[in-house]
Every structure is written in C-alpha cells, then in structure tokens.
Amino acid sequence: MPNLENDNISEVKIANFPSESTWQAIASHQTAVSRVDDSLVKLIAETCQHPPGSLKRQLGLDRIIRRIINSGRLWIENAPYYEDALQQTWLYFCRNLCEATTTKEPYNPQRSNIFTWLDRYLKGRLKDMYLKNCHEQNIRVNNSEEIILTIPAPVNTIPLEDQIRAWAEADATGELVATHIANRPELNCQLLILRRLPPKSQWEELAAEFNISMSTLNSFYRRKCIPYLQRHFQPDLG
C-alpha cells in the first residue's frame, strides 16, 4: 500500500524547490555582480596609477563614483541627514582610495569589495549624525524646560512646579491627553509633561519604557507639548 503521507511530503518538497530557470537566473545575477566587481577593481588600479590631483586621477575617480551609484548596491537609508553622510563618504573615498590620507591605510581590494568598504564608513557617519541629532534635540528640550521652570513666581504663592503639575493633572480642556504621538494615545502631552517635572524621567528611560526612539519622543515633546507650557505659564514667550 503506498505511503500517501510520504508522497505528499515529496510533492511539497519538489514544489518548493527552485526550478532550473530560477537557478540560472541566480547564477546569471551572480556572474553580472562578479563582472561589475572585477571591472571596478581594474578601474581602481588604473586610476591609482595616476598622480594625486592629476586630471586623469580625477576623471578616474568620477568614473568609479558613477559606476557605484548606477549599480544600486550602495547603502540607502531614509534619514534627513543621509545626503550629508553620503557627501562625507565620497570625500572619504577620494582621500583614501589610493593613498591613506585620513586613515591608517588605503582601500585594499583583497580585504573587501568597494561596496562593503564604503557602506561601513557611510553607516558609521549615519550613526554619528543620528546621535548628534538626538543630543541637540535633548539640549533644546532641556533649555525650554529650564526657561519655563525658572520664571520668578510671586512671593507667597504656590511653587511653579506644583502649579504645572496641578494644571497638567486636571487637563481641564482635555487638550493635553488629546495631543499624542500618532497611533500611540498613551504617549500624550499630559503624561510627558508630568514625567518631565522634577524628579524628571530621562529621555532614555522613557524611550525604553515605551519602546520608542528617543528622537521621536524628543521631537514630539518639543513641537507639541512645550508650546502648551509656554502658553499657560510663559505668555510673554508664547
């Protein structure tokens, strides 16, 4: 009697196994990629034979950059500072492809292909710019908070921090709760204003607690929540 269960398994395996045409397409793609890599290695060697600053060196560098861009294999990221990071990467490329100007040694095609070499540097610059952006946003938010919390209060009145806490907790108009990060109603201005009052939670703690990036929290608080504080407690800066 035939084993139907084993027959079904065989059919599934055969159905999921790549066809010959698929393997041919993969092999063709790998061959094309290999040709591009070999062509770039040859062009790099030819370019680096010319003296630094010479017209032939510059023309060679331009040809290499165009080929890398046209290949579509360089790292791409949807970040507002991507173009700045890319420009830094091309500058690094021109300075260190043939001679080590800003590194310990120039590019070595025996260690990595040109795309891996450039991607490593590009990703490093993107990371640096991301951290710098987060730091600058944090400074702007902290400065805004300090300005508001240091407004001189009239003598014999409730401390300003307590006034802000009472106002935020009451949220008489509902505007603080209604103003929240997209699709995250729990991350609203009421919560963030209260959590940033002394002893305030740091942005790193809030980001980890709510599983969201620190830059998103920072940007939302600065753009949406700080204006409420300014309007109610610092009208002259409104």
Residue 194: pLDDT band (50, 70, 90) is: very high
SS3 204: helix
* Per-residue tokens: 62: 């331009």
Cα 224 to chain centroid, rounded: 22
- pLDDT tens digits for range 78-126: 888 888 899 999 999 999 999 999 999 999 989 989 999 999 999 999 8
Contact 52, 99 (CB under 8 A): yes
Instruction: Look up the pTM and report it.
Output: 0.49
DSSP string, 87-147: HHHHHHHHHHSSS-SSSSS---TTTS-HHHHHHHHHHHHHHHHHHHHHHHHHHHHHHHHHH
Evaluate whether 221 touches 144 at the Cβ level (below 8 Å): no
